[in-house]
Amino acid sequence: MKNWLFFLFFTFLVQAQNEKEIEVVVVKKAPKIAAVLKRLNKQLLKNVDTTTYVYQLNQLNFENTDTIISRNEKQLLKFTDFAGQFSKKNEIENKDNWFTKIKETFKDYSAKESPIGWISGFPVRKNITITDLDFIRTTRGYAYKVEWINDEDLLISFQSANFYKGQFVVDRNYNLLSLSYEVQAPYPFYYTSDQSVGKYHTFTSSWIYQREKVAMTFAIVKKKMALVSLSIEEKLRDFVFNRYNKEGVTFTKKTNFSTQIELFRRIE
């Protein structure tokens, strides 16, 4: 009987000791996507480093170097917010600037009609206007996954079957640290002039985004977001341009473009 009692007591001590060694793991609950986007949008508007930095801008065309501008220049950029308010100028203004280097593909376009802006300037403007990006502006049509990757940072993955997939990381204050996305399926884009002649627009343009792949990184400078780098890869298929007069179309051009743009902050 004494041996039996000793065995029970010994078993109790072992169990009690094992229970003390069990590690208690607390799982930190991730916020809902609506709350993340609301807080992120607020930071993109209000919490931006407004210092003027020097960035290196490089652009090349993968397919036809004689049909698209090539750029390699330093730019001074100052962001008021990441909702489209920024200023830009070249560090050294080149009198023989890139507009004068329109090659054979653009010889029949006026400066106002030229698609250069859509192929060069627009991709950068679009992606530094982060609040307007489809998956930041609305959750409609997207599936999101929100998870902590450490005690400080949240990883948000998103996907739409017919549009974009990607991910971004925010810190515990909802400052953006990185963002990457790419198109899942080709999609069309249309552009028309404001001016009309008779029942026609002066010109119309349309194309298909066959490929669109973007990556951005940020640094937190004195608790504010500063853009460090932006990489954009685009392939525009079936780029169609039409010019009209009162009788109808007078000029039509169809071509393709495949470009890579790199914008990164220079550390002198």
**Closest residue by Cα to residue 211 from 179, 252, 169, 182:** 182
Which pLDDT value is given to residue 44? Answer: 98
**Closest residue by Cα to residue 86 from 48, 113, 118:** 48
How far apart are alpha carbons 60 and 55 in whole angstroms?
17
Taking only the tens place, the pLDDT of each residue in 80-125 is: 999 999 999 887 766 555 444 555 667 778 777 877 778 888 899 9
Question: What sign does the dihedral 53-266-260-103 (CA atoms) show?
Answer: positive
The DSSP annotation for 32-51 comes to: PHHHHHHHHHHHHHH-B---
Helix (H) or strand (E) holding 137: helix 134-137
**Closest residue by Cα to residue 41 from 159, 153, 124, 139:** 139
Which pLDDT value is given to residue 114? Answer: 77
Which pLDDT value is given to residue 221? Answer: 95
Token pair, residue 53, equals 């930095």
Which pLDDT value is given to residue 9? Answer: 47
Question: What sign does the dihedral 173-83-206-254 (CA atoms) show?
Answer: negative
Contacts of 133 (CB under 8 A, 6+ apart): 126, 127, 181
DSSP 8-class letter at 246: T
Which pLDDT value is given to residue 90? Answer: 82
Which pLDDT value is given to residue 21? Answer: 54
Exposure on the CB side of residue 108, measured as CA atoms within 13 A: 10
Q: Contact, 48 vs 77, CB < 8 A? A: no
pTM for this model (two decimals)? 0.81
Which pLDDT value is given to residue 6? Answer: 47
Which pLDDT value is given to residue 115? Answer: 78
pLDDT mean for each 10 residues of the chain (268 residues): 48 52 61 96 97 92 61 90 92 58 68 78 93 94 95 95 94 97 93 91 93 97 96 93 94 88 83
Quick check: helix, strand or coil at residue 182?
strand
Which pLDDT value is given to residue 1? Answer: 52
Which pLDDT value is given to residue 176? Answer: 98
C-alpha distances in Å from residue 39, one per residue of 84, 228, 255 = 18, 21, 42
Q: Contact, 56 vs 74, CB < 8 A? A: yes
Taking only the tens place, the pLDDT of each residue in 231-256 is: 999 999 998 999 999 999 999 988 88
How far apart are alpha carbons 101 and 70 in whole angstroms?
9
